[in-house]
């Protein structure tokens, strides 16, 4: 009945997450409230690990792309599950280090890392820097030399693949701000330059073609193009790269119409291509790295809101307004993303209405969904938005000076607060007259 298997309806007709009554959670902790299911997150991590073991003899590593949801708790969970992580800022790196995440298993991404961030990464022994451009490469080399170090890096490559997803999250094509292009020779040239630098050790190449992808083809093409490039590097530069990082981007079900690929199918297909290519070009099998973000945490998250006003505009639409919106979930306003909505205290009822969910911010575009199916809604009802575990909390803002909601983690039928709700005090803590 629901898009995620950890959701159910209890005897009170209330929606449950991991066995916990969401209406009671809303009463106890207030709304808006992010609720995450730790068991499901762990299960997702294990699926990645086992697919690498099964299809590629364990010669790989899944990195959790922590931009999807970054907090002390998630880094601890992911570390316990044996994954590495991808960070993209000093802030994510700082949080991970504070959670005692092993620095060697951290990959540092970003198209415009600052010198301070690069130094922070070097000083803390971050495992890999994924270098985006020539300027960054020079800064990194100088930093490394000044500290008498050699830094292990990968290069972010634009493989020239069209991933057929929303243009805002499409990154593999030549017109992208991320990385260096294959087809112009830019990627080859930068690796040649790096190979002559004393402070740099080129370990591998990376690509990430986009996000929320449902098709295997672009992933297969990317693997093929990247392996062919590795062969060129070997034959022309005599460098044999040992890591192939193919990024993330695996789609998940936001609504019933979404049809994600099973992780295993992805790893099976990509492993075949990499093995065949290695044979063809006489390359050693590279370690395959993948970087799932959304598919680790999205379906494990549910956001709870309290419905305030319900406004019927005759012959036009019915607005159901909630106590959150674009400040805690900007994905509708950014990508027109679709969600499954449920009235948590009437979860077993049929969805008889078509409504527009309005947020509380002073923007007409502040909606969470338009013309969506919902149970009959009234003031005081609790609205649950499903699959909000990725890119919601991490993209939240303070627009209209709204405090960020709390995050609750559920594990084995018990809940705990992993991020406290911000107070008004928190909002002004850095303000000065």
Residue numbers 118-147 binding ligand LLP by CB under 6 A: none
Residue numbers 47-106 binding ligand LLP by CB under 6 A: 65, 67-68, 86
| Residues 12/21, Cβ–Cβ less than 8 Å | yes
- For residues 185 to 224, the per-residue mask of contacts with ligand LLP, x marking binding by CB under 6 A and - elsewhere, is -----------------------x--xx------------
Buried b (16+ CB within 10 A) or exposed e, 405-431: bbbbbbbeeebeebbebbeeeeeeeee
Q: Near ligand LLP by CB under 6 A, which window of 217-225, 248-256, 257-265, 267-275?
A: 248-256
Residue numbers 370-399 binding ligand LLP by CB under 6 A: 391
Task: Pick from 250, 266, 305, 393 the residue near ligand LLP by CB under 6 A.
Answer: 250
Q: Please name the residues in contact with 158: beta carbons below 8 A apart, sequence gap of 6 or more.
A: 171, 172, 173, 174, 176, 178, 179, 180, 181, 182, 187, 207
Tell me how far apart the alpha carbons of residues 92 and 108 are, in angstroms, rounded to a whole number.
10
Buried b (16+ CB within 10 A) or exposed e, 288-319: bbbbbbbbbbbbbbbbbbbbeebeeeeeeebb
Task: Pick from 47, 61, 62, 169 the residue near ligand LLP by CB under 6 A.
Answer: 169
* Residues touching ligand LLP, count (CB under 6 A): 21
Strand order in the sheet with 20-21: 7-9, 15-17, 20-21
Minimal distance, residue 103 CB to ligand LLP, in Å: 19
Q: CB pairs under 8 A, 24+ apart, for 335-339?
A: 335/166, 335/168, 335/169, 337/254, 338/254, 338/255, 338/369, 339/254, 339/255, 339/368, 339/369, 339/372, 339/385, 339/386, 339/387, 339/388
**Catalytic entry in 45, 207, 361, 362:** 362
Q: Pick between residue 114 and residue 423 the one whose CB is nearest to ligand LLP.
A: 114
Q: Pick between residue 246 and residue 343 the one whose CB is nearest to ligand LLP.
A: 246
Q: Pick between residue 170 and residue 197 the one whose CB is nearest to ligand LLP.
A: 170
Q: Pick between residue 204 and residue 248 the one whose CB is nearest to ligand LLP.
A: 248
Does position 260 interact with ligand LLP (CB under 6 A)? The reply is no
362 classed as catalytic: yes
Distances 226 to 222, 223, 247 between C-alpha atoms, Å: 6, 5, 12
- For residues 306 to 345, the per-residue mask of contacts with ligand LLP, x marking binding by CB under 6 A and - elsewhere, is -------------------------x---x----------
Q: Strands 33-37, 301-313: parallel, antiparallel or unpaired by DSSP?
A: antiparallel
Minimal distance, residue 67 CB to ligand LLP, in Å: 6
- For residues 276 to 295, the per-residue mask of contacts with ligand LLP, x marking binding by CB under 6 A and - elsewhere, is ---------------xxxxx
Site of interaction with ligand LLP (CB under 6 A): 65, 67-68, 86, 109, 169, 208, 211-212, 247-250, 291-295, 331, 335, 391
Residue numbers annotated as active site: 362
């Amino acid at each position: 009945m629901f898009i995620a298997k950890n959701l159910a309806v209890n005897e009170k007709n209330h929606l449950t997450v991991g066995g916990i009554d969401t209406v009671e959670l809303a009463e106890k902790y207030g709304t808006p409230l992010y609720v995450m299911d730790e068991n499901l997150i762990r299960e997702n991590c294990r699926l990645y690990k086992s697919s690498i073991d099964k299809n590629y003899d364990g010669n790989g590593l899944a990195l959790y792309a922590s931009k999807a949801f970054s907090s002390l708790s998630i880094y601890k969970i992911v570390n316990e599950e044996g994954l590495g992580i991808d960070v993209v800022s000093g802030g994510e790196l700082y949080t991970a280090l504070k959670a005692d995440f092993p620095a060697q298993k951290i990959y540092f991404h970003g198209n415009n890392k600052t010198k301070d961030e690069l130094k922070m990464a070097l000083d803390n022994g971050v495992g890999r820097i994924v270098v985006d451009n020539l300027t960054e490469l020079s800064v990194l080399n100088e930093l490394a030399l000044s500290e008498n170090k050699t830094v292990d890096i990968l290069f972010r490559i634009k493989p020239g693949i069209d991933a057929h997803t929303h243009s805002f999250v499409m990154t593999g094509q030549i017109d992208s701000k991320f990385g260096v292009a294959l087809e112009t020779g830019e990627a080859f040239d930068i690796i040649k330059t790096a190979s002559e630098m004393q402070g740099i050790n080129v370990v591998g190449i990376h690509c990430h073609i986009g996000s929320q992808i449902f098709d295997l083809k672009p992933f297969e093409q990317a693997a093929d193009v990247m392996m062919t490039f590795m062969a060129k590097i070997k034959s022309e530069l005599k460098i044999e790269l040992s890591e192939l990082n193919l990024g993330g981007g695996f789609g998940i079900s936001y609504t019933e119409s979404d049809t994600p690929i099973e992780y295993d199918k992805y790893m099976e297909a990509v492993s075949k291509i990499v093995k065949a290519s290695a044979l063809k070009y006489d390359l050693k099998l590279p370690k395959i790295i993948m970087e799932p973000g959304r598919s680790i945490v999205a379906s494990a998250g549910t956001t709870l809101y309290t419905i305030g006003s319900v406004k019927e505009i005759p012959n036009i639409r019915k607005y159901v307004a909630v106590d959150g919106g674009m400040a805690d979930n900007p994905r509708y306003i950014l990508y027109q993303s679709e969600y499954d909505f449920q009235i948590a205290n009437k979860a077993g009822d049929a969805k008889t209405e078509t409504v527009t969910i309005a947020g509380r911010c002073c923007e007409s575009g502040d909606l969470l969904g338009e013309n969506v199916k919902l149970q009959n809604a009234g003031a005081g009802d609790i609205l649950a938005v499903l699959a909000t575990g990725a890119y919601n909390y991490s993209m939240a803002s303070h627009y209209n000076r709204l405090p960020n909601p709390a995050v609750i983690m559920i594990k084995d039928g018990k809940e705990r607060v992993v991020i406290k709700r911000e107070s008004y005090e928190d909002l002004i803590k850095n303000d000065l007259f």
